[in-house]
Every structure is written in structure tokens, then in C-alpha cells.
């Protein structure tokens, strides 16, 4: 019995391939380069601002001999690129990721093409697919950046591996990043205003930053900082610094809840079609 060979590009697969290519072209833009610039800038700044051990010791006393300088250089661990990158990504990647994701659906109704899009696929599927594309890009970027920072270490800690470094980077940055994205999308879906979607999360980010700086000024210690967006960066100023991951877990849960609450709103394409002038 003869079997007719099946082409790998069936109409269904071809449609999905074209859809994925369209979504990638629609989602990817120049703004995707900004997180890369943040990573490069963080690593460069860590290198430029690092003071070698022999210079630190020489600043505190008389000039060192050549033998003493060589001894200090032998023990010098070099810049801690991993910690520097972890601090910078936690503080600055969440607002940057907001600008990568907020226009995923807003551009459709601003350009008046949401009606045509809704005829082909539900807006919920479109938004979820585009959000996954951006989040996957940011996660891969964080993991590669962590690997690169670890490889730059002159003397990596014996108790820290590259996989451990990647995991710590991910659980430090991802919850804060996802929360700002969720707040921004929720604001857009409630107000049907992309401007409000930008302003509210950025305002919350600034309030978190100012609150952390105020509570830790003068050497004060408060556990409240562990439950804000910068829980890792300020965890040394907390009474129980080892509990910083609890704050990140809470942020992640809140972000997932906010994303889930938006599901009924996203299905109502008519709300956005009537507000194409925003």
C-alpha cells in the first residue's frame, strides 16, 4: 500500500510560521538594544570604578615597594562583575522592560488595526504570544549576561558556580520586572490609555527608589526594604537580610495575580476599537 508523503509545510504549519514571523517583526524594535547597553555599561563601570588592593593600601599609608605591590596584585580578586550587574539590572531593567512590552497591544488600537487583527486571532492570544516573546528575550539576555559577568571574574568564589550565578540573577531581577510589566498592562487595560500605562509604573518605581534611600539613610535598618522592588540591592540595610527572597516571591505572586485579572479585559476588543484616538 502506497502512502502519499506529507509535506512538512502543511497549510496549518505555514500559517503558524507566517504568524510567528509577523509577531517577531512586530515585537522586535530598536528598544531591544537598550537592555544590552545597560549590561555593557554596568560591566564597564564596574571595571572603571574598581580600585586595586595595592592602591587602597597605599592610600592609607606610605608608598608600597614593588614587592608589596606584586603581593597585593597576586591576592587581588578584581572587580566583582556579577554583583555589580545584579545590582544594576534589579534597579534599571524593570522600567526598561516596561517600554518593551507596553506597546505590544497598544499599537494595534492606536493604528486602528485591532479590528482586523481580532478577525484572525483573539487579542488574548496575540498579547500572550507577544508578551512571551519579550519575556523570553529578557530572560535569555539575563542568563547570558550573568554567564558573561561570571566569566570575567578574575577569581570566582569557590562556593559559586556559573549556574548558581544565573539562578540568583534570575530570581533577583525577574519578579520586579514582571510586576512593573503587569502594573503597566493592567493600567492600560483599565484606562485604555498607553500614557497612563507608562506613568503609573514609573511613578511606583521612583517611589520605591526614594523610599529605600530614605529608610536606609543614616545607617538605619528596616526589613520593609526587602519587600520593595530593590530588595536585593538594599538587603544589607535590613534587619534580616537573608529574607530578601521572600520579598521577591511576594512580588512574583502579585504580578501573576495582576496578569490573571486582566484576562476578561483583554477579551473585550470593542473597548479598544472605540478608543483608537489615544
- The whole-angstrom separation of Cα 198 and Cα 192 is 12
3-state SS, one letter per residue, for 155-216: CCCCCCCHHHHHHHHHHHHHHHHHHHHHHHHHHHHHHCCHHHHHHHHHHHHHHHHHHHHHHC
Using 50, 70 and 90 to split pLDDT, how confident is the model at 38? very high
Is the distance from CB of 28 to CB of 100 less than 8 angstroms? no
**pLDDT at 43 > cutoff 50:** yes
- Given 3-state DSSP classes, what are the helix, strand and coil percentages for the chain, each rounded to the nearest 5? 75, 0, 25
31, part of any domain? no
176, part of any domain? yes
* More confident: 78 or 16: 78
Using 50, 70 and 90 to split pLDDT, how confident is the model at 7? very low
The C-alpha angle with vertex 260 and arms to 256 and 264, in degrees rounded to 5, equals 165
* Selection from 23-37, 63-77, 143-157, 187-201 with the highest mean pLDDT: 143-157
Compute, in degrees rounded to 10, the torsion defined by CA atoms 47, 40, 86, 172: 180
Using 50, 70 and 90 to split pLDDT, how confident is the model at 30? confident
Please compute the mean of the pLDDT values over residues 61-86 and round it to a whole number: 73
- The whole-angstrom separation of Cα 51 and Cα 115 is 58
Please compute the mean of the pLDDT values over residues 137-141 and round it to a whole number: 94
- Position 146 scores a pLDDT of 96
Determine the structural domain holding residue 88 and report its residue range. Answer: 80-273
**pLDDT at 14 > cutoff 90:** no
12, part of any domain? no
Least trusted range by pLDDT, from 90-94, 176-180, 268-272:
268-272
Number of compact structural domains in the chain = 1
Q: How many whole angstroms from its chain centre is CA 94?
A: 5
Q: What is the pTM of this model?
A: 0.81
Query: Average pLDDT of the chain?
Result: 80
Rounded to the nearest 10 degrees, what angle do helices 81-101 and 194-215 cross at? 150
128, part of any domain? yes
Query: What percent of the chain has a predicted confidence (pLDDT) above 70?
Result: 68
Query: Closest Cα partner for 177 from 241, 256, 105, 235?
Result: 256
- The whole-angstrom separation of Cα 185 and Cα 265 is 11
197, part of any domain? yes
160, part of any domain? yes
**pLDDT at 13 > cutoff 90:** no
**pLDDT at 180 > cutoff 70:** yes
| Residue 204, all three cell numbers | 511606583
236, part of any domain? yes
- Position 132 scores a pLDDT of 86
**pLDDT at 8 > cutoff 60:** no
Q: In 3-state terms, what secondary structure has residue 220?
A: coil
DSSP-derived secondary structure for 112-158: T-HHHHHHHS-HHHHHHHHHHHHHHHHHHHHHHHHHHHHHH-SS--T
Element housing 261 (H / E): helix 244-261
Please compute the mean of the pLDDT values over residues 202-209 and round it to a whole number: 95
- Position 63 scores a pLDDT of 67
Task: Find the distance separating the first CA and the last CA of the chain, reported in whole Å.
Answer: 62
256, part of any domain? yes
For residue 173, the number of C-alpha atoms closer than 13 Å in the C-beta half-sphere is 32
Least trusted range by pLDDT, from 96-105, 107-116, 136-145:
107-116
Reported as a single tens digit per residue, the pLDDT across 216-229 is 888 788 899 999 99
Q: How many whole angstroms from its chain centre is CA 201?
A: 14
Amino acid at each position: 500500500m502506497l502512502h502519499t508523503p506529507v509535506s512538512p509545510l502543511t497549510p496549518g504549519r505555514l500559517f503558524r510560521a507566517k504568524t510567528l514571523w509577523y509577531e517577531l517583526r512586530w515585537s522586535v524594535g530598536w528598544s531591544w538594544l537598550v537592555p544590552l547597553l545597560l549590561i555593557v555599561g554596568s560591566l564597564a563601570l564596574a571595571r572603571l570604578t574598581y580600585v586595586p588592593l595595592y592602591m587602597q593600601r597605599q592610600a592609607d599609608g606610605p608608598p608600597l615597594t614593588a614587592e608589596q605591590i606584586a603581593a597585593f596584585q597576586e591576592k587581588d580578586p578584581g572587580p566583582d562583575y556579577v554583583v555589580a550587574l545584579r545590582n544594576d539590572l534589579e534597579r534599571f531593567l524593570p522600567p526598561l522592560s516596561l517600554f518593551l512590552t507596553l506597546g505590544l497591544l497598544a499599537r494595534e488600537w492606536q493604528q486602528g488595526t485591532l479590528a482586523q487583527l481580532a478577525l484572525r486571532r483573539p487579542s488574548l492570544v496575540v498579547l500572550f504570544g507577544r508578551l512571551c516573546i519579550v519575556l523570553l528575550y529578557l530572560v535569555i539576555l539575563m542568563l547570558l549576561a550573568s554567564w558573561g559577568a561570571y566569566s570575567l571574574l578574575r577569581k570566582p568564589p569557590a562556593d559559586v558556580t556559573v549556574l548558581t550565578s544565573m539562578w540568583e540573577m534570575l530570581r533577583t531581577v525577574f519578579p520586579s520586572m514582571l510586576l512593573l510589566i503587569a502594573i503597566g498592562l493592567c493600567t492600560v487595560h483599565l484606562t485604555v490609555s498607553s500614557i497612563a500605562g507608562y506613568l503609573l509604573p514609573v511613578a511606583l518605581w521612583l517611589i520605591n527608589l526614594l523610599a529605600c534611600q530614605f529608610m536606609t539613610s543614616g545607617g538605619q535598618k528596616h526589613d520593609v526594604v526587602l519587600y520593595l522592588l530593590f530588595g536585593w540591592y538594599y538587603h544589607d540595610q535590613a534587619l534580616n537580610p537573608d529574607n530578601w527572597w521572600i520579598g521577591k516571591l511576594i512580588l512574583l505572586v502579585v504580578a501573576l495575580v495582576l496578569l490573571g485579572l486582566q484576562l476578561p479585559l483583554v477579551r473585550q476588543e470593542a473597548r479598544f476599537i472605540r478608543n483608537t484616538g489615544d
